[in-house]
Structure 1
Amino acid sequence: MIITPWRRRQAWLLGLAHPARLLTVAGTVLLLTACIGGQPSGDGKDAAAGYDPAATVTLTWWTGQTEEFEQIAERLAGEYHAAHPNVTIKTSPGAPTTDDLLTKLSAGFTAGSYPDISYAYGNWAGDLAASGRTQDLTGFVADPSFGWSEIPEAARTVATSGGKVIGVPALVDNLALIYNKKLFDGKGLAYPTDTWSWEDFRAAAKKLTDPATNTYGTAYSVSGNEDTTWHLWPLLWQNGGRILDGTKPAFNSDAGVRALETLRAIAVDDRSMYLDQTDEKYGPLFNSGHIGMILSGPWSLLELKDAKLDYGVAALPGVDGDHQTVSGPDLWVLLDHDDANRAGASRDFIKWLTSAEVDAKWNLAVGNLPLRSSESTTAEFTAYIKQYPGGQKFFDNLANAKQARPTVPGYEVMSRNVGDGISKVLQGAASPKEALDEAARKSAGALED
């Protein structure tokens, strides 16, 4: 699946316009919190205790897809039903866009009309876990037959909140450096390598920038949404910083200031960074040859294929040899209806859907990276990397995704505050220290609630 910059999976691959999350996200989190009613996440029971695999069950699956890929989901649901005639799976997108699913789930929790399985962005995990409606899957995925360790560690971490596994990764990705070979050749520059530092990146961006042709060395979203925020996290980690200290903001440390200063220098001092106010423009501008380098994910490969651009992919620039990246996995969240047969059947279906064999019919079929390491030797993966040059590099780069964004209630609010701060800095309206301190102050209450 795909979504613009930070989630281009669903805007590009699914044919959606990018639904920038804007301030409605904060309102949705507040609505979700209001629906919780002070309940803890789970009551210690196993939602599937007493599950009868032979019981007749109807499951509701909110796929988060638009028409083309909803049809694939329907076919897979039918395939599962053919092998398990007692289990009927009703599929639907669940909401007009994937971004709307959180609002729909929140309202459903109040009305008691939520699904058994829902697609969810990984950064919703903390708020969904706090709803008390998610199943605790910790013991389920620990069974050796599930193959939990085959899924990248960062993705497994995102599926975990408060020490409990609340979902199973639906897809995995990461950020890397994608560059236009023609623009590098035109300036006589050597292509980026996996050992580049941020100083190397800055120097190349400056040389690639050409006002006469409206060409920029690189680009960054200043829309203030998660696309703005999550691009900062790798630099923070590479500088030795942390996003949180428990539930307290820690991103405004010296490491955070150094990280944001790296970006500020490129944007403000060098003026070699295209600042995208909407986060919908920098991808097409790269594809059309007006931006030399972008920091993006495997979802970009779909449009690059259509653009017929001669491009390359390298690991993110690093600090002292540390090339950590960030992964933005999305989830299949399994929800509890106090019905052991529905809970057990939903688990069995998701285990089947995310198996190496079936994942090839889902993720690899629609241009995503495989979920499992065991898929790297399959014919389907060989076909994928042939169809999408750079796919192997993104798959290998999963090893550099060593940390995950926090899965705590309030992350969405914090992300908006950090994104707003980054946007101010890159547009010359604040210093890194001022902006990060302000974001920390604004976020403290949301994270501690």
Structure 2
Amino acid sequence: MKKGFLFLLIVMITIAAVGCGKSKKNVIRFATWDSAEVLEVQRDIAKRFEELNPGVKVQVEAYADGYSQKLAAGFGAKNPPDVMYMWDFPTYSASLESLNQYMEEDQSFKAILADLFPGIINYSTIDNQIYGLPVGYTSHVIYYNKAIFDEAGIPYPTNDWTWDEFREIARKVSDPSVGRYGFAVPTQPDPYDFEQFLWTDGTAYIAPDGSTVDGYLNSEATINRMQFFADMIKEGSALGAQESISRAFRGGNVVIQESGIWPLAAHIEAIGEENLGIVGLPRASKTVPASSVINSSAISMAKDAKNKELAWEFIKFYSSPEAVKMRAKTDLPVLKSVADELGYNEDPFYAPFYQMLETAENNTPAFLLHPQYSRIAEEISNAIEKIFVDTINGETVNVREILNYAVEESKQYFTDK
């Protein structure tokens, strides 16, 4: 009797253990930095993946504030989420699984790869290794107030406008006596975004091979572009903005704003669809296309993922037309087929973002070219801030000297590249 009971107990424990093992094997953890409406969309995508894969459970982990710290802690403890939202590839690439082999061997992924807008995937690629698939992006454009243009009798700008034409328009619509400026230059711009203004001039912060900033950050072209914006502040055609430029635009204090897609909805609500215009960034000349930086997010796999095959299947589904369409209300579609189906390429409020996206393949942002870019960016940021703040304060500004100093301060980060 006792032997029979003991045998039954062993069988039950074995079944339970097998069941638990199977359960854990079919669970993947998905970390996101989002909340509210965007998080709900991501949960819906996870549920849809579960429906298509009976027995699979996607555990959505919304880290929100402190995302980077929680992610780093997971990597450090060898217990990271299996898949996660990612943008900072230079920092985390050593902890991420390269997706090259999965993409090459999975024939069903070929159609998705061909459907991706060219260029976006470059932002999650380091040393030819792809560490994430794009899930959302924004290029940068120019917003302008049509009502003020109409009042001044100025034709709306077109995608072939130049920086000189841009400046002339800014002068015409400016009236500092009533607190209105054609443009606004942030006194503390994000160096990542600001680099796009150099690309159209044929320069950048750093050499293409990441070896130096000397001859790039302090090149004649960089000096001239920085001086261009400083002169606009000095002449009153641009506001040296230390507060929200988007609020100033909606309040009519700034007529032209450069930004990504983030303020679009608020701008439409504030001034109305009929008064909001969007156009591509200005060019250096009519024959040189403008260039936009891309702010993108991707979905990546941890190198220590517990179930890499299942993690890849989730990443692939997250990149599929079905999932991209589900995210269309919160992210610009990264697939050509979805953008076409939803009419984004023809919509006057979305088409400019896709037109500027076409330039994404032409340039590689500095943060992907050097492992200590964050330190270099601090020197760049300090230099740009000094140029613009000193200009606002009426001080004599030597742009060349300031940029040369930033180059010298940055050299210490190239010794161990």
Q: Tell whether the structures are fold-level matches, with TM greater than 0.5.
A: yes
Query: What residue identity is the alignment partner of 2:115?
Result: E
The residue that corresponds to 2:14 in the other structure is none
The answer to whether the Cα contact below 8 Å between 1:63 and 1:93 also exists between their aligned partners in 2 is yes
1:110 maps onto 2:72 in alignment? no
The residue number in structure 2 matching 1:276 is 241
Q: Aligned partners of 1:168 and 1:411: how far apart in 2?
A: 22
1:286 equivalent to 2:255? Answer: no
Q: Specify the alignment match of 1:137 in structure 2.
A: 99
What is the CA–CA distance in structure 2 between the aligned matches of 1:438 and 1:275, rounded to whole Å?
22
- Partners of 1:126 and 1:62 in 2: how far apart? 19
Distance 1:333 1:274, change over 3 A: farther
Name the SS for the 2:322 alignment partner: helix
Q: Are 1:329 and 2:296 matched, yes or no?
A: yes
Does 1:94 pair with 2:63?
yes
How far apart are residue 54 of structure 1 and its match?
A: 11
1:396 and 2:359 correspond? no
Q: Identity percentage over the alignment?
A: 22
Equivalent residues of 2:268, 2:276 under 8 A apart: no
Q: Would the aligned equivalents of 2:35 and 2:64 in 1 still touch at CA under 8 Å? A: no
Which residue number in structure 1 is paired with residue 329 of structure 2?
365
CA distance in 2, matches of 1:275, 1:314: 22
Q: Which of 131, 136, 144 pairs up with 1:166?
A: 131
Kindly provide the CA deviation profile for residues 200-254 of structure 1, in whole angstroms up to 9, marking residues without a partner as x: 1111112211123211111122225x2xx23432221111113322222232222
**C-alpha deviation, 1:101, in angstroms:** 2.3
Counterpart residue number, 1:300? 263
Which ranges in structure 2 are unaligned for 5 or more consecutive residues? 1-21
**Gap change, CA 1:353 and 1:432, over 3 Å in 2:** same
SS in 2 for 1:118: strand
Gap change, CA 1:110 and 1:55, over 3 Å in 2: closer
Structure 2 residue aligned with 1:196, among 161, 179, 203?
Answer: 161
Partner SS, residue 244 of structure 1: coil
Larger Rg: 2
Change (3 A) 1:403 1:151: farther
* Structure 2: distance between partners of 1:437 and 1:87: 57
Q: Is the 8 A contact 1:55 1:86 kept in 2?
A: no
Task: Map 1:76-95 onto structure 2 (within 5 A).
Answer: 76-95=45-64
Whole-Å separation in 1 of the counterparts to 2:150 and 2:121: 40
Q: Could you tell me which residue of structure 1 aligns to residue 232 of structure 2?
A: 266
For the 8 Å contact 1:155–1:404, the answer to whether it is kept is: no
CA contact (8 A) 1:208 1:217 kept: yes
Q: Which moved more, 1:439-448 or 1:207-216?
A: 439-448
Q: 2: distance between equivalents of 1:164 and 1:128?
A: 13
Q: Secondary structure at the match of 2:119?
A: helix
**Equivalent of residue 151 in structure 1, options 112, 116, 125:** 116
> Given residue 337 of structure 1, which amino acid in structure 2 is its aligned partner?
D
Residue by residue over 1:165-193, the C-alpha shift from the partner in whole angstroms, topping out at 9 and shown as x without a partner, is 11111212111111101111122222111
In structure 1, distance between residues paired with 2:193 and 2:225: 10
Structure 2 residue matching 1:108: 3-state secondary structure: helix
Match of 1:318 in 2: 283
The residue type equivalent to 1:304 in the other structure is H
Report the equivalent of 1:219. 184
Contact 2:170 2:181 in 1 (8 A): yes
Question: Which runs of structure 2 are paired with 1:7-86 in the superposition (5 Å)?
Answer: 56-86=25-55
Mapped partners of 1:192, 1:361: distance in 2: 34
Whether the aligned pair in 1 keeps the contact of 2:79 and 2:304 (CA below 8 Å) is no
Contact 1:118/1:332, CA 8 A, preserved across alignment: yes
Structure-2 change in CA distance of 1:356 and 1:107 (3 Å): same
| Cα pair 1:217 1:273 within 8 Å, conserved | yes
Verify the 8 A CA contact 2:345 2:354 in the aligned structure 1: no
Q: Is 1:186 aligned to residue 155 of structure 2? A: no
Paired residue for 1:119?
85
Contact 2:188–2:385 under 8 Å retained in 1: yes
Deviation, structure 1 residue 446: 3.6
> In the TM superposition, what is the alpha-carbon distance from 1:385 to its structure 2 partner?
7.1
Could you say if the C-alpha distance between residues 330 and 208 of structure 1 is closer, same or farther in structure 2, counting changes exceeding 3 Å?
same
With over 3 angstroms needed to count, the CA separation of the structure-2 counterparts of 1:89 and 1:431, relative to structure 1, is farther
The correspondence for 1:424, drawn from 386, 389, 396, is 386
Q: Find out whether 1:253 has 2:213 as its counterpart.
A: no
Judging changes above 3 Å, is the alpha-carbon distance between structure 1 residues 150 and 54 closer, same or farther for their aligned structure 2 residues?
farther
Q: Which amino acid aligns with 2:309?
A: G
- Contact map agreement 2:141 2:258 (CA 8 A) in 1: yes
1:230 to 186, 192, 203: 192
> 1:305, CA displacement in angstroms?
2.4
Deviation at 1:144, TM superposition (A): 5.3
Give the whole-Å Cα distance in 2 for the aligned partners of 1:163 and 1:178: 35
Question: How far apart are 1:80 and its partner, in Å?
Answer: 0.7
Q: Retained in 2: the 8 A contact 1:232–1:259?
A: no
| In 1, Cα distance between equivalents of 2:236 and 2:271 | 28
Q: How many aligned positions are there?
A: 376
Q: Give distance in 1, aligned partners of 2:281 and 2:107.
A: 34
Contact 2:86 / 2:132 at 8 angstroms: preserved in 1? no
